[in-house]
Amino acid sequence: MNDSNTSQAKQGPALKQLLATKSGGLFSGRWLWLTVALVVISVAAWLLLRSGEDKTVPRYTTEAATVGTLVVKVSATGNLQPTNTVDVGSELSGIVDKVMVDDNDEVKKGQVLARLDLSKLQDTVVKSRASLAAAEAQVLQMQATVAEARATLARYQQVSQLSGGKVPSKTEMDTAEANFKRAEANVASARASVTQARATLQTDETNLGKASIRSPIDGVVLSREVDPGQTVAASLQAPVLFKLAEDLTKMELQVNVDEADVGGVKAGQRATFSVDAWPGREYSAVITRVGFGASESEGVISYLTILEVANDDLSLRPGMTGTADITTLTRENALLVPNAALRFIPAATDVAEKKSSGGVMGALMPRPPTQTKKTEATVNNGTPRVWVLRNGQPVAIDVQTGATNGRVTEITGGDIKAGMQVVTEVLDTQP
Question: Is residue 397 included in any domain, yes or no?
Answer: no
Q: Which runs of E-coded beta strand occur in 34-162? A: 59-64, 66-82, 85-89, 94-99, 106-107, 112-116
Q: Which pLDDT does position 406 carry in this prediction?
A: 85
Residues 22 and 78 in one domain: no
Mode of pairing for the β-strands spanning 240-245 and 219-224: antiparallel
Q: Which of 291, 308, 329 finishes a domain?
A: 329
Q: Which of 301, 329, 357 finishes a domain?
A: 329
pLDDT value at 195 more than 90: yes
Residues 130 and 191 in one domain: yes
Q: Which pLDDT does position 380 carry in this prediction?
A: 54
CATH number of the CATH domain containing 322: 2.40.30.170
Question: Is residue 59 included in any domain, yes or no?
Answer: no
Residues 180 and 136 in one domain: yes
User: Does residue 244 come out as left (phi exceeding 0), alpha (psi in the -120 to 50 range) or beta?
Assistant: beta
For residues 121 and 207, is the Cβ–Cβ distance under 8 A?
A: yes
pLDDT value at 158 more than 50: yes
Question: Is residue 357 included in any domain, yes or no?
Answer: no
Could you tell me which residue, 366 or 418, shows the higher pLDDT?
Answer: 418
Long-range CB pairs of 149-156 (<8 Å, 24+ gap) are: 149/176, 149/179, 149/180, 149/182, 149/183, 150/180, 150/183, 152/176, 152/179, 152/180, 153/177, 153/179, 153/180
For residue 421, give the amino acid letter: Q
Q: Which pLDDT does position 374 carry in this prediction?
A: 43
pLDDT value at 429 more than 70: no
Side-chain half-sphere of 302: how many Cα atoms within 13 Å?
Answer: 18
Question: Is residue 292 included in any domain, yes or no?
Answer: yes
pLDDT value at 303 more than 80: yes
Claim: this prediction has a pTM higher than 0.85: no
56: confidence class by pLDDT, cuts 50, 70, 90: low
317: confidence class by pLDDT, cuts 50, 70, 90: very high
Question: Is residue 145 included in any domain, yes or no?
Answer: yes
47: confidence class by pLDDT, cuts 50, 70, 90: low
355: confidence class by pLDDT, cuts 50, 70, 90: very low
368: confidence class by pLDDT, cuts 50, 70, 90: very low
Residues 199 and 259 in one domain: no
Could you tell me which residue, 120 or 430, shows the higher pLDDT?
Answer: 120
Question: Is residue 110 included in any domain, yes or no?
Answer: no
How far is 177 from 197, CA to CA, in rounded Å?
31
For residues 217 and 244, is the Cβ–Cβ distance under 8 A?
A: yes
pLDDT value at 313 more than 60: yes
Residues 203 and 286 in one domain: no
Residues 154 and 184 in one domain: yes
The per-residue pLDDT for range 101-138, each reduced to its tens digit, is: 999 999 999 999 999 999 999 999 999 999 999 999 99
Helices (H) and strands (E) in the chain, counts: 7, 21
Q: Which residues pair with 421 in a beta bridge?
A: 64
Question: Is residue 108 included in any domain, yes or no?
Answer: no
Q: Which pLDDT does position 42 carry in this prediction?
A: 72
Helix (H) or strand (E) holding 333: strand 321-338
Q: How many angstroms separate the Cα of 97 from the Cα of each of 206, 238, 422?
A: 18, 18, 78
Q: Which pLDDT does position 370 carry in this prediction?
A: 42
Tally of structural domains, the chain: 3
Lowest mean pLDDT among 168-182, 233-247, 296-310: 233-247
Lowest mean pLDDT among 147-161, 185-199, 291-305, 349-363: 349-363
How far is 50 from 388, CA to CA, in rounded Å?
27
Domain interval for residue 173? 118-210
For residue 171, give the amino acid letter: T
Mean pLDDT on 132-150 = 95
Q: Which pLDDT does position 361 carry in this prediction?
A: 45
Residues 307 and 274 in one domain: yes
393: confidence class by pLDDT, cuts 50, 70, 90: confident
Could you tell me which residue, 240 or 7, shows the higher pLDDT?
Answer: 240
Mode of pairing for the β-strands spanning 106-107 and 240-245: unpaired
Mean residue pLDDT across the chain: 83
pLDDT value at 357 more than 50: no
Picking from 421, 415, 361, 270, the residue whose alpha carbon sits closest to that of residue 49 is: 361
Enter the DSSP assignment of 131. H
Omega into 168 within 30° of 0, i.e. cis?
A: yes
Helix (H) or strand (E) holding 288: strand 283-297
Q: Which pLDDT does position 360 carry in this prediction?
A: 42
Residues 78 and 129 in one domain: no
Picking from 302, 300, 305, the residue whose alpha carbon sits closest to that of residue 288 is: 305
Question: Is residue 342 included in any domain, yes or no?
Answer: no
Residues 127 and 206 in one domain: yes
Q: Which pLDDT does position 350 carry in this prediction?
A: 39
Residues 123 and 201 in one domain: yes
